[in-house]
Structure formats: C-alpha cells, structure tokens
Amino acid sequence: MVLKAHAIYTVAMRFRIFAALTFASLLFVAARGQTDRVKELAPGVFFWQGDPDQRQPANCTWIIFKDYVLVIDANFPWGARDILHTIQKTTNKPIRFVFDTHYHGDHAFGNSIFTDAGASIICSEACAGELRTKGAKGFENWKDAAHPLTGAHFEPATITFTDAMVFDDGAHRVEITRVGPGHSKGDSVAYLPSEKILVTGDLCVTWSAGNNVADADADYENWLRALDRMDKWDVKTVIPGHGTPAAQSALHAQREYLADMLSQVRTGKRAGKSADQLASGIDLSKHGNLAASKAGNATSIRAMYKRL
Ligand SMILES: [Zn+2]
C-alpha cells in the first residue's frame, strides 16, 4: 500500500512537473513571439508565414544580429504592420534593414511601415530601378478597396548593390546575391550558410498557385539557370516567396514545373496553337501541388505565350 501510495504520489508529482514545464515552455514560446504563423527556424532566425486569405500572401524572414534586425521582404502595408509587431515581440533590437527580394507590391509596398520605424530599404540596383518605375506606378494605381494603402506611402530603396552584399557580425551571416532576371529583372536571394537556409523570393514557391510569370521583365531561361545555380548550394531549408518552407528538393520541383510549362508553350506556339488553346490544353498535373491551380497555370501560360 505504501508503495502504491508512493507510486501515485510520484505520478501526480511528475504530472505537475510536466504541466509546469509545458506551461513554462508555452510562456517562453509566447514571449519569443511564436504563433502558428511564426517559427524560429534557428536561433535568431524567424519565419512569418504569408496568408493569401488576408491578402498577405508573401512570406517574411528576419534575422536578429547582435545590434540590429534584418528583415527579408516587406509585404503589403497591412502585413508589414503585423510583421513589425511580431518582430518587436521577438527582440528589442532596432529593425535597421529591410531587403526586398524584388519590387512586386506583395513584397515591397509595406516598405514605408519599416522606414517609419527607422529602417532603410535594400535591394539590387536592378530591383531599385523597377521599384522606382513599375513599383511606384503600381502603388499610385492601387485599386483594391478592401485593402487600401492608407497610412503607407511609396518608399524606394536607398541602399543598393550590383551583384551581392553580405551581412556578417560573427554571430550571423547573410549572403545576398542577385540571381535574376527571372521572375523580375532584379530578383535577389538570401543565403544563410551556417543555418543552410535559402530565402528565394518568388523564384521558388511551394503553394498551389504556382508562380506568377507575367512580369514585363521576366526571363524564363535565366530563371531556370538561377534555379540550377541555387540547387548547387548547400541548402537544408528553402523559404519560398509563397507557401510553406521546404527541403532543397523544392528548387528542383520548381525548375521542372517551369521548364515543362516553357517547353510546352514554346512547342505549341510554334505549331500555330492559340494562347487559349494552350491555356486549356497544357497538362502540368505531373507537378502535383505546384500545378494544382488550373486558373493559376492558365494565367501563366497566357503570359508566357505573349512574351515568347
Ligand atoms: Zn510574390
């Protein structure tokens, strides 16, 4: 009986300790700003999941250096506000730099939310040029009444690089490289060699809508070369522009999907088929989730047809 009572006592104690530890870890997670949407992928490296339902489709990553925070992709203003608050829950260090992988609104229209908080915007020179022209025009002509740009203003990049830029304080290293033109002219990616994390912008996505290939300066051949180039890097985690983080194989899946679409559009166009015929006739189903949206594929096929 004594033993039994002792056993019950021990179980009860263990449960209490377990509950206390679980609660403590929950508190810790909450204190570090983690939610279903936010994950600390490695010490000081945070990922914020984009949400198309809230028109915050693009992902965001931030790295906490010794003296400052570097943010990758500014989202739309309403997404940027959420990101800013979330970052402030993970650190009290200043957000000093925001790197836009490319100029598109879902990655750059939130720039001013961060510059108002003291940050400077960085992107490749090619991206900065696109931002000042196509980006500014898109901002000015914004028409989504449900998601107004109220409270934000157009903010260009004030720090640029031609081919590459490195942030390294001994604790963290982030290598930014321009690998475009691909999805746009100025596409650049960020690689964290210690954590083997690659942040690709929209050169790689993992969601079911596939890529948007409609940019006036998209370059499909070089896009494929860029994917091949990154596939040679030592990558454990790919953070895509849209969709959930994935293994390195996401780069290859992306390459196959785009290469297949490109080859089928090219062959069809040469054979005299119309954009409509190709949009409804091309079968990309072997690419699984990446090609799951028929409407998304059709839009890309039409855009590609027009540009080839
Ligand atoms: Zn995007």
Question: How many Å lie between the centroid of ligand 1 and the Cα of residue 281?
Answer: 26
Cβ atoms of 99 and 122 within 8 Å: the answer is yes
Question: What token pair was written down for 282?
Answer: 């091309």
Question: How many Å lie between the centroid of ligand 1 and the Cα of residue 147?
Answer: 16
Q: Is the pTM of this model over 0.85?
A: yes
* pLDDT of 40 over the 90 cut: yes
Chain mean pLDDT for the chain: 91
Question: How many Å lie between the centroid of ligand 1 and the Cα of residue 107?
Answer: 6
Report d(CA 275, CA 271) in Å as an integer: 12
Considering Cα of 230, then 235, then 241, then 243, what sign does the dihedral take? positive
Report d(CA 77, CA 82) in Å as an integer: 9
Ion ligand 1, residue ranges at CB < 5 A: 58, 106, 202, 241
* pLDDT of 4 over the 60 cut: no
Higher pLDDT, 30 or 300: 300
How confident is the model at residue 36, as a pLDDT?
A: 86
Question: How many Å lie between the centroid of ligand 1 and the Cα of residue 278?
Answer: 24
How confident is the model at residue 69, as a pLDDT?
A: 98
Counted residue by residue, the chain has a size of 308
Cβ atoms of 179 and 187 within 8 Å: the answer is yes
Question: How many Å lie between the centroid of ligand 1 and the Cα of residue 110?
Answer: 13
Question: How many Å lie between the centroid of ligand 1 and the Cα of residue 41?
Answer: 21
pLDDT mean over 110-132: 98
Which DSSP letter does residue 56 get? B
Question: How many Å lie between the centroid of ligand 1 and the Cα of residue 203?
Answer: 9
Question: How many Å lie between the centroid of ligand 1 and the Cα of residue 33?
Answer: 24
Question: How many Å lie between the centroid of ligand 1 and the Cα of residue 253?
Answer: 18
How confident is the model at residue 19, as a pLDDT?
A: 46
Question: How many Å lie between the centroid of ligand 1 and the Cα of residue 16?
Answer: 47
Report d(CA 89, CA 79) in Å as an integer: 16
Report d(CA 24, CA 10) in Å as an integer: 21
Question: How many Å lie between the centroid of ligand 1 and the Cα of residue 102?
Answer: 8
pLDDT digits (tens, 9 = 90+) for 250-299: 999 999 999 999 999 999 999 999 999 999 999 999 999 999 999 999 99
| Ramachandran angles phi, psi of 47, nearest 5° | -125, 135
How confident is the model at residue 147, as a pLDDT?
A: 96
* pLDDT of 96 over the 90 cut: yes
Least confident span in 29-38, 88-97, 154-163, 261-270: 29-38
Tell whether domain 37-247 is in CATH 3.40.50.10580.
Answer: no
Confidence of residue 20 (pLDDT cuts 50, 70, 90): very low
The pLDDT > 90 percentage for the chain reads 88
Dihedral of the alpha carbons of 74, 41, 51, 124, in degrees to the nearest 10? 30
Question: How many Å lie between the centroid of ligand 1 and the Cα of residue 73?
Answer: 9
Question: How many Å lie between the centroid of ligand 1 and the Cα of residue 1?
Answer: 66
Question: How many Å lie between the centroid of ligand 1 and the Cα of residue 205?
Answer: 9
Question: How many Å lie between the centroid of ligand 1 and the Cα of residue 202?
Answer: 5
293: left (phi over 0), alpha (psi -120 to 50) or beta: beta
pLDDT mean over 41-46: 98
Question: How many Å lie between the centroid of ligand 1 and the Cα of residue 254?
Answer: 15
Question: How many Å lie between the centroid of ligand 1 and the Cα of residue 242?
Answer: 6
How confident is the model at residue 188, as a pLDDT?
A: 98
Question: How many Å lie between the centroid of ligand 1 and the Cα of residue 31?
Answer: 30
Question: How many Å lie between the centroid of ligand 1 and the Cα of residue 106?
Answer: 5
Question: How many Å lie between the centroid of ligand 1 and the Cα of residue 241?
Answer: 6
* pLDDT of 22 over the 70 cut: no
Q: Could you tell me which residues are beta bridge partners of residue 69?
A: 64, 95
* pLDDT of 178 over the 90 cut: yes
Question: How many Å lie between the centroid of ligand 1 and the Cα of residue 155?
Answer: 18
Confidence of residue 33 (pLDDT cuts 50, 70, 90): low
pLDDT digits (tens, 9 = 90+) for 205-244: 999 999 999 999 999 999 999 999 999 999 999 999 999 9
Confidence of residue 34 (pLDDT cuts 50, 70, 90): low
Which DSSP letter does residue 109 get? T
Confidence of residue 173 (pLDDT cuts 50, 70, 90): very high
